[in-house]
Structure 1
């Protein structure tokens, strides 16, 4: 299995915008067959080094992760995130 984790820092960190963006991520659930699990967390500490949103997803294989990357639902999410994010970092690892 593969774990895919992405942290997002948004241009507009208002609570309303963070929640709206978190919902865009949550809305992928059940719409992409390769996506086995999804968890979206919103930062509660708001420190200088914090990112606003954490996305944690699980896939059966690297091939499934690659299929997710190009899936039309995920591509729409990428479009949204490209408009609203200031920065993002990710890590992918085998579990």
Structure 2
């Protein structure tokens, strides 16, 4: 199993913008067959080091993660929106 975690820091972290990011991430459910698990949460601590939104996804294999990365919905709709709204996006991928 591959876990893919991404953190998003918005350029302008308004409640509306944060909600838009979370909703768009959750909209991938049911559209990308390789996704085995999908969660998106909004940070509740709001410290200086916090990111605004976290994405937690799981895949059966690295090949499935790669298929997700280039899937038309992810690459064509989700990624461009995230890039337009975020000042920083970081990710970690691990097996286990």
Question: How far apart are 1:65 and its partner, in Å?
Answer: 0.1
Structure 1 SS opposite 2:51:
coil
Give the TM-score, by structure 2 length: 0.97
Unaligned ranges ≥5, structure 1: none
Q: State how far apart, in whole Å, the 1-side matches of 2:17 and 2:83 are.
A: 14
Question: How far apart are 1:20 and its partner, in Å?
Answer: 1.0
Q: State how far apart, in whole Å, the 1-side matches of 2:16 and 2:45 are.
A: 16
CA RMSD, 1 decimal: 0.5
Question: How far apart are 1:16 and its partner, in Å?
Answer: 1.0
Unaligned ranges ≥5, structure 2: none
In the other structure, the counterpart of 2:80 is 79
User: Aligned pair count?
Assistant: 95
In the other structure, the counterpart of 1:89 is 90
Give the TM-score, by structure 1 length: 0.98
